[in-house]
């Protein structure tokens, strides 16, 4: 049987040209034991470096014994084993199951070398569980497409070569091998949704419809194709509407509601944010994009605020407040700014326009605001204006106001970083260069 399984295993893997090795996620359970045996044969035949990684979560009283078991199996297969010991936080609002998965992939990513493959033991029954969980959540095509068999991951690629193999087939092969496997007692706890499906619902579905896992896999493959198609459409629409991290509203007005929502989701996904519900997406369009011209709309999404400025939509960190600090600075010095605002430098410059040298009675400080009613006159302007008006003219979004470094000579505003030098503080040539190195975040773009 192992020869047939190995043949199927090899057919699912890409040509190993360019691969610098293989890393197997090895829990010691039935599925990952079969995976490691197949991977060991493949690595020997292809001349690839193979390693296994086991994560000790400390959730089970048997966790130490599982490590010893994994060490024994790897020793028999002549596969180096990496053991990662992690501690999970109880009561932080995130389930232990979700925490364990997140930290497991973090450790796998950290260990994966450039161009290396990561193999995990997800199989056909896992796909069915994933589909049912996606239906429970009301997921869209991306969720219904299920587990991706081949995708970029960290410095290499994540491959799942057993997705077309059933759990029963894996169990039959594992029983014929001499290594044994560990049983995680938490897999019997039906309080976890995935365990409830695995122990209670899926056996009934497969008893009634034995081919349920295979037909569900076909449906998921079709969903994956449709997801790829609408992603291509969204990317084409993004070319005409996207700019940096922002999205122009005007091109969206010409799109159908379905196509517009597809582009909005694509934009949110590009920034690595969680997908909002259909209701929130509708509010984003109605209350932010279509708000009256003189409004300053803001809608809280999952972890970001959606804001509008000069006909564009932005996703920014919530709770951005004006800064009140007064930070001394000297010529030749670089200082860190608060709240992820980056670095500010004052350096001598031999050429080009710069700030004049300060007098002895003009100590240099960096601040973020001006006194109420203050009037500023940038070099080259015919008159003075209030800072709010100037920032509007310079196209500074409302959430950045009060967060831009301002250089003071004594109690006089000399320059606003990245925007202008005030009249009376410009050197005819040379002088001081005020350089603001912003942190790369959507809030500061």
| Residues making up the binding site for ATP | 27-32
Return the closest-CA partner of residue 230 out of 149, 144, 302: 144
Residue 371 tokens read as 């006194």
Report the C-alpha gap between 435 and 444 in whole angstroms: 15
DSSP-derived 3-state class of residue 379: coil
Return the closest-CA partner of residue 425 out of 408, 405, 402: 408
Q: What are the φ/ψ torsions at residue 443 (nearest 5 degrees)?
A: -65, -25
Q: What are the φ/ψ torsions at residue 76 (nearest 5 degrees)?
A: -65, -35
Q: What are the φ/ψ torsions at residue 276 (nearest 5 degrees)?
A: -75, 165
Other C-beta atoms within 10 Å of 93: how many?
5
Q: Max alpha carbon distance in the chain (Å)? A: 89
Report the C-alpha gap between 153 and 155 in whole angstroms: 6
How far separated are the first and last CA of the chain, in Å rounded? 58
Residue 158 tokens read as 């994540």
C-alpha torsion angle, residues 281, 287, 290, 295 (rounded to 10): -140
Report the C-alpha gap between 418 and 359 in whole angstroms: 23
Sort strands 50-56 and 22-25 into parallel, antiparallel or unpaired: parallel
Q: Which residues are annotated as a binding site?
A: 27-32
How is residue 249 annotated by DSSP? S
Burial class, 270, CB count within 10 angstroms (exposed 0-12 / middle 13-18 / buried 19+): middle
Chain centre distance of CA 328: 36
């Amino acid at each position: 049987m192992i020869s047939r399984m190995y043949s199927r295993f090899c057919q699912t893997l890409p040509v190993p040209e360019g691969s610098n090795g293989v890393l197997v996620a090895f829990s010691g359970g039935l599925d990952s034991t079969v995976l490691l045996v197949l991977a060991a044969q493949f690595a020997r035949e292809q001349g690839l470096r193979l390693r296994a990684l086991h994560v000790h979560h400390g959730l089970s009283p048997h966790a130490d014994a599982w490590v010893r078991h994994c060490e024994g199996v790897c020793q028999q297969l002549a596969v180096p084993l990496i053991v990662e010991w992690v501690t999970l936080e109880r009561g932080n609002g995130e389930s232990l199951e979700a925490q364990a998965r997140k930290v497991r992939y973090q450790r796998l990513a950290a260990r994966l070398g450039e161009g290396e493959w990561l193999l995990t033991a997800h199989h056909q029954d896992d796909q069915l569980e994933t589909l049912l969980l996606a239906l429970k959540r009301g997921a869209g095509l991306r969720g219904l497409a299920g587990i991706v068999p081949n995708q970029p991951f960290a410095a290499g690629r994540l491959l799942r070569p057993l997705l077309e193999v059933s759990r029963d087939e894996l169990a039959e092969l594992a029983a014929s091998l001499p290594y044994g496997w560990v049983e995680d007692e938490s897999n019997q706890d039906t309080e976890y949704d995935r365990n409830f499906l695995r122990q209670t619902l899926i056996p009934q579905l497969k008893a009634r419809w034995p081919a349920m896992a295979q037909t569900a896999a076909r449906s998921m493959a079709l969903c994956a194709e449709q997801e790829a198609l609408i992603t291509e459409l969204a990317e084409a629409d993004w070319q005409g509407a996207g700019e940096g991290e922002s999205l122009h509203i005007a091109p969206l007005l010409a799109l159908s509601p379905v196509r517009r929502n597809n582009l909005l989701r694509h934009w949110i996904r590009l920034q690595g944010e969680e997908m909002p519900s259909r209701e929130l997406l509708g509010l984003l369009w109605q209350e932010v994009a279509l708000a009256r011209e003189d409004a300053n709309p803001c809608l809280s999404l999952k972890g970001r605020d959606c804001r509008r400025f000069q006909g564009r939509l932005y996703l920014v960190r919530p709770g951005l407040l004006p800064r009140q600090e007064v930070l001394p600075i000297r010529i030749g010095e670089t200082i860190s700014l608060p709240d992820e605002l980056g670095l500010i430098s004052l350096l001598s410059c031999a050429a080009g326009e710069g700030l004049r040298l300060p007098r002895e009675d003009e100590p240099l400080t960096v601040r973020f605001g001006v006194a109420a009613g203050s009037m500023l006159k940038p070099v080259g302007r015919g008159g003075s204006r209030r800072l709010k008006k100037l920032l509007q003219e310079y196209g500074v979004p409302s959430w950045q106001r009060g967060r831009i470094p301002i250089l003071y000579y004594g109690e006089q505003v000399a320059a606003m970083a990245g925007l202008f030098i005030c009249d009376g503080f410009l050197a005819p040539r040379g002088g001081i260069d005020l350089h603001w190195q912003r942190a790369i975040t959507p809030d500061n773009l």
